[in-house]
Amino acid sequence: MDCLFCKIANKEIESEVLFEDDYCVAFKDINPVAPTHLLVIPKKHIDGIDTINELDKEIVAHIFMIIKLLAKREGLNNGYRVISNVGADGGQSIRHLHFHLIGGKKLGWNFE
Ligand code: 5GP
Ligand code: ZN
């Protein structure tokens, strides 16, 4: 399968990896919208939230524990935002489940 984030997960494509374990990888977004903008992805290919199945539940829960850890590591003590865009209307440009961890400034709330 030709998936950019699978290639990032298996190091075929370079990225700035900040965390990695058996289940997930966290790396810097190439086009950051805030001082901290990380992407946390499962190593297993899952298309998006819309295709998570029973077997993926533990991976997804694990990712949220890692997000919490990374937010702390990044010093986001004043808060942060976690986003997962889904499908065309959600603005998902890469069809491999990912969670944006965004923070380091006061974030607005603006939908077009
Ligand atoms: P989406 O739009 O699917 O929610 O998020 C995809 C994100 O991946 C975007 O924020 C985009 O900047 C980021 N991105 C796209 N290509 C690359 C890449 O090659 N490397 C990294 N580190 N981030 C990427
Ligand atoms: Zn993938």
Distance between CA atoms of residues 9 and 74, nearest Å: 21
Q: What is the pLDDT of residue 1?
A: 78
Q: Which helix (H) or strand (E) holds 65?
A: helix 57-73
Q: What is the pLDDT of residue 96?
A: 98
Q: What separation in Å is there between the alpha carbon of 106 and the centre of ligand 2?
A: 31
Q: What is the pLDDT of residue 97?
A: 98
Closest CA to 38 of 3, 80, 86: 80
Q: What separation in Å is there between the alpha carbon of 46 and the centre of ligand 2?
A: 7
Q: For 98-111, write each residue's pLDDT tens digit.
A: 999 999 999 999 87
Closest CA to ligand 1's atom 21:
30
Sign of CA dihedral 107, 91, 112, 15: positive
Give the mutation target among 30, 82, 97, 99 for probing the ligand 1 site: most ligand atoms within 8 A of CB.
30
**Where does the pLDDT of residue 21 fall: very low under 50, low under 70, confident under 90, or very high at 90 and above?**
very high
Q: What separation in Å is there between the alpha carbon of 94 and the centre of ligand 2?
A: 9
Mean pLDDT, rounded, for 93-98: 98
Catalytic residues: 98
Sign of CA dihedral 100, 101, 105, 107: positive
Q: For 22-78, write each residue's pLDDT tens digit.
A: 999 999 999 999 999 999 999 999 999 999 999 999 999 999 999 999 999 999 999
